[in-house]
Amino acid sequence: MFGGKERTKNRFITAAAAMLFAGLLTGCGGKNEALQTAMEQVKALNYEEALSAFDEAENTGANSRLVNRGRGIAYMGLADYEQAIDCFKQALSSSNGLVENVDFDLNYYLAAAYAKSGRYQEAEAAYDAILALRPNEEDACFLRGNVRLNLSDFEGAKADFDKVISMDPRNYDRLIEMCEVLENFGYREVGQEYLQNALDSGDKSMNTYIMGRIYYYLGEYQKAYLALEEAKDEGGVDSYLYLGRAYEATGDYNYASNVYNSYLSKYDANAEIYNQLGLCELSRGEYQKALAAFQAGMQLEGSFVQQSLAFNEAVAYEYLGEYGQAFELLTNYVKNYPDDEQAKRELEFLSTR
């Protein structure tokens, strides 16, 4: 496919792709001012405004491949995946015949758009195209495994995951991602086997922070929080997040809340900590405290949990019985994240209150 002259299961694919290329949203703007403005609008989730800015960029001589790339990203933000696919294809087809880094970038986006529209076979083909030229591209291999699970091709997915592990056996972050994906598709035991193999490997570089996280995903929560208590300063904010979640998994929401508040009292404010604290407070029935946590997190710009915070803020208002405010927030949320089916159902429910 290189150019010549849950909320739902595929959230793992698009979330991974977003993380891989978030830094490229503004990095391909070139020197055209209108194009740079358009990409800034995409970053701010102002997709309609971005599309208008891309038209202006095209009229002022911006690189057509980058314009179509940006349009595709904006259409993805609007959940118009067919339009996004067309834009990415146009960008690929206008290649000069030499394969450049932007071609790989475009194929990643194209694959994500195919996956979001449920066209998994075509998504798989896009990753095949990447791997044909870069056979050791770990991200493409991992994401193709995700797609293959959506195609009910467990053996193919496992072959991809096995290859990823063989390429970088000490990448425990990726290993944990695989465990999450496999569990989501009903293969929890397979993911846990990967994790157990890692524990049994005798890797001396595996510190207590890594071990604590692995114990967490193995469901051994007491071992998890004991290791993570010891490793609180090794993994930074993630150590506190996993420590709190381990206590939550045992039903000890009070201590989990103390863990999150302890982090906030010692270190700089962190949106993910606020989000997890808010969820913990919801579980404790402390709805006003939950709302305060979500709103505090939303004040911190540039966080990848902004979508979760926005949804959870509306949920907190709903728990507080302030249905009008919850409805207003969810209406705005659905406008910004139109492919969140759970939010649409919640909005429909609120319209009857």
3 state SS for 268-335:
CCCHHHHHHHHHHHHHHCCHHHHHHHHHHHHCCCCCCCHHHHHHHHHHHHHHCCCHHHHHHHHHHHHH
- d(CA 160, CA 153) in angstroms, rounded, equals 11
pLDDT by 10s per residue, the chain, length 353:
555 443 334 444 544 444 444 444 444 545 789 999 999 999 988 999 999 999 999 999 999 999 999 999 999 999 999 999 999 999 999 888 888 899 999 999 999 999 999 999 999 999 999 999 999 999 999 999 999 999 999 999 999 999 999 999 999 999 999 999 999 999 999 999 999 999 999 888 899 999 999 999 999 999 999 999 998 877 789 999 999 999 999 999 999 999 999 999 999 999 999 999 999 999 999 999 999 999 999 999 877 899 999 999 999 999 999 999 999 999 999 988 888 889 999 898 888 87
For residue 230, give both structure tokens. 């010891």
| pTM over the 0.95 mark | no
- d(CA 327, CA 107) in angstroms, rounded, equals 38
CA angle, 47 as apex, 4 and 55 as ends, to 5°?
55
Sketch out the chain's domains with CATH numbers. 1-129 (1.25.40.10), 273-353 (1.25.40.10)
> Residue 108 — left, alpha, or beta (φ > 0 → left; ψ -120 to 50 → alpha)?
alpha
- d(CA 5, CA 93) in angstroms, rounded, equals 7
- d(CA 148, CA 155) in angstroms, rounded, equals 9
For residue 183, give both structure tokens. 């569990």
Closest CA to 218 of 253, 251, 183: 183
pLDDT of residue 27: 47
Exposed/middle/buried for residue 266 (C-beta within 10 Å: 0-12, 13-18, 19+) = exposed
- d(CA 56, CA 214) in angstroms, rounded, equals 50
144 with 131: CB under 8 angstroms?
yes
Closest CA to 112 of 60, 165, 150: 150
Exposed/middle/buried for residue 210 (C-beta within 10 Å: 0-12, 13-18, 19+) = buried
- d(CA 242, CA 225) in angstroms, rounded, equals 8
For residue 308, give both structure tokens. 């979760």
pLDDT of residue 28: 53
- d(CA 329, CA 306) in angstroms, rounded, equals 13
3-state secondary structure of 195: helix
54-78 exposure pattern, b = at least 16 Cβ within 10 A, e = fewer: bebbbeeebbebbbbbbbbbbbbbb
pLDDT of residue 303: 78
For residue 56, give both structure tokens. 């202006």
The total of other beta-carbon atoms located within 10 Å of residue 174's CB is 18
